[in-house]
Amino acid sequence: MNTTIRKEISLRKIRPQLAKEKIEGCHICTSVTPGEPQVFLGKDKAFTFDYVFDIDSQQEQIYTQCIEKLIEGCFEGYNATVFAYGQTGAGKTYTMGTGFDVNIMEEEQGIISRAVKHLFKSIEEKKTTAIKNGVPPPEFKLYNEEVLDLFDTTRDIDAKNKKSNIRIHEDSTGGIYTVGVTTRTVNTEPEVAVSLNYR
């Protein structure tokens, strides 16, 4: 029996104007009707999403409404992926944001730092019920159709013609797993920050 559940949610966050855009006198060309999941571009184009967040929406609101349940599902055996897509300047980095920069105020922290905090808070809560968890995050990227292990310090950076030994497989239930990827077990938020900045 296949227990893999796939659910895709589309959302659109309209980011605030950048200081440069304000100085240059750029105009906001999108609008949102409160309570409706549509973004209007000008007067005649409308785009519908599952969720729409206007300029005044807070990062916490986006996380709570769209991401929180995905993270909770990880503790029930589900995999979760949050993927940001869009043109340059659309607000992907602002919305996802690593949030490990000490200069970022908590209310501006993006999805990644909120998810990491949520994960470790839940782990701490589960420790009280005698469940010990370490989270081994493999970190790899696809580059020119080659899978690269970002934690592998022995890989020769200039060895561009060498094939990677990393393999991505699907198990009998539709779950995805990797073979040959270096993992590091992290137990705290700061360890995640160090791992993400290791590259």
Is 188 annotated in a binding site? The answer is no
Lowest mean pLDDT among 30-44, 86-100, 154-168, 183-197: 154-168
Mean pLDDT value across residues 183-199 = 70
Q: Which residues contact 6 (CB under 8 A, 6 or more apart)?
A: none
% of residues, the chain, pLDDT over 70: 70
Is 97 annotated in a binding site? The answer is no
Q: Which domains does the chain have, with CATH numbers?
A: 11-137+184-198 (3.40.850.10)
Which pTM does this prediction carry? 0.60
Is 88 annotated in a binding site? The answer is yes
**pLDDT value, residue 84:** 81
Is residue 21's pLDDT more than 90? no
Q: How far is CA 53 from CA 11, 34, 190, in A?
A: 8, 9, 30
Mean pLDDT value across residues 145-153 = 64
**pLDDT value, residue 159:** 54
Mean pLDDT value across residues 143-162 = 60
**pLDDT value, residue 78:** 83
Q: Predicted confidence band at 130 (pLDDT cuts at 50, 70, 90)?
A: very low
**Residue-wise pLDDT tens digits, 50-69:** 888 888 888 899 899 889 99
**Residue-wise pLDDT tens digits, 24-35:** 998 888 888 888
Q: How far is CA 100 from CA 113, 114, 199, in A?
A: 7, 10, 15
More reliable by pLDDT, 142 or 10? 10
User: What is the token pair recorded at 26?
Assistant: 């750029």
Residue 78 and residue 27: Cα distance in Å, rounded?
42
Is 92 annotated in a binding site? The answer is yes
**pLDDT value, residue 98:** 60
Is 89 annotated in a binding site? The answer is yes
Lowest mean pLDDT among 174-178, 188-192, 194-198: 194-198
Is 180 annotated in a binding site? The answer is no
Residue 25 and residue 117: Cα distance in Å, rounded?
38
Is 91 annotated in a binding site? The answer is yes
Is 86 annotated in a binding site? The answer is yes
**Residue-wise pLDDT tens digits, 79-111:** 888 888 777 877 888 888 765 666 778 888 888
